[in-house]
Amino acid sequence: MAHIIQIKAFSDNRGELRVIEKELPFEVKRVYYIHGKPDVVRGGHRHKHTDQLLICIHGSCIVSSNNGKGTEDFLLDSPSTALYVDRHDWHTMHHFTEGAVLLVLASTPYDINDYIDEAYPEH
């Protein structure tokens, strides 16, 4: 089930440093980022094997996640807020603000056969 993870920030007169270490429940095998557009929906899939951590490092977006029992929306609007998305969670990313950048850390390398494009039935 998708859930929020807070990322600790270390601040001083030089700025802020955010570190992800023990909060991550998997070893990172792939990193990518999405420059979202306001009127576009991204994602629309779930995975067989890949867990992900999503962080909107600039701007904001909404991630909708459905684990087969219901849908929950998560607003990602701070680089201190990360969303863990379980491999079985159907997810979409939408309502990107202009210039938003969504960073994704994934537990597996890219594999087209890992994607499940069929959504859970609505209850």
Q: Which residues are catalytic?
A: 45
Radius of gyration over every alpha carbon of the chain, rounded to an integer in angstroms? 14
Residues 6+ apart with CB under 8 A from 121: none
Q: Distance between CA atoms of 106 and 1, rounded to whole angstroms?
A: 16
